[in-house]
């Protein structure tokens, strides 16, 4: 896991974190959920942008996303649903947090 120095620009952080995103399945994320470090990013929000603002310690921006419900700690209900459908996610680490955004399937 990498840590980032605070004075980096958001754009530099975005570029670094974009290269560190990966697709991961729920089974690999369960231990992070159990540790309480799994953060859910809502569909439509930019996962990499959220991660960059967290890495830059942008408390105001993150607080706004939290208030809007776009960024939330993963709940037990989330975990149960993800387990049931064996969900896949885009994920990125901004230590100590693991940010995830579910990859929604097009079933049509």
For the chain, 108 residues long, the average pLDDT of each consecutive 10-residue run is: 59 94 98 98 96 95 96 98 97 97 72
Q: How many domains is the chain partitioned into structurally? A: 1
pLDDT score for 108: 41
Q: What is the dihedral of CA 54, 58, 64, 69, to 10 degrees?
A: 10
98 in a structural domain: yes
Range of the domain at 51: 10-102
β-pair type (97-102, 38-41) = parallel
- CA distances from residue 73 to 5, 35, 37 in whole angstroms, order as listed: 24, 12, 8
53 in a structural domain: yes
pLDDT score for 104: 82
108 in a structural domain: no
Model confidence pTM above 0.85: yes
- Sign of the Cα torsion 67, 52, 93, 20 reads positive
pLDDT score for 39: 99
Q: Cα Rg for the chain, rounded, in angstroms? A: 14
């Amino acid at each position: 896991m990498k840590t980032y120095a605070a004075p980096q620009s958001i754009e530099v952080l975005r570029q670094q974190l974009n290269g560190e995103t990966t697709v991961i399945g729920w089974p690999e994320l369960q231990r992070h959920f159990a540790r309480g470090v799994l953060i859910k990013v809502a569909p439509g929000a930019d996962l990499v942008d959220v991660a960059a603002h967290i890495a830059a310690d942008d408390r105001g921006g993150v607080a706004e996303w939290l208030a809007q419900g776009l960024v939330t700690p993963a709940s037990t209900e989330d975990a149960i649903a993800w387990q049931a459908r064996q969900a896949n996610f885009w994920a990125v680490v901004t230590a100590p947090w693991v940010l995830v955004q579910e990859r929604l399937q097009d079933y049509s």
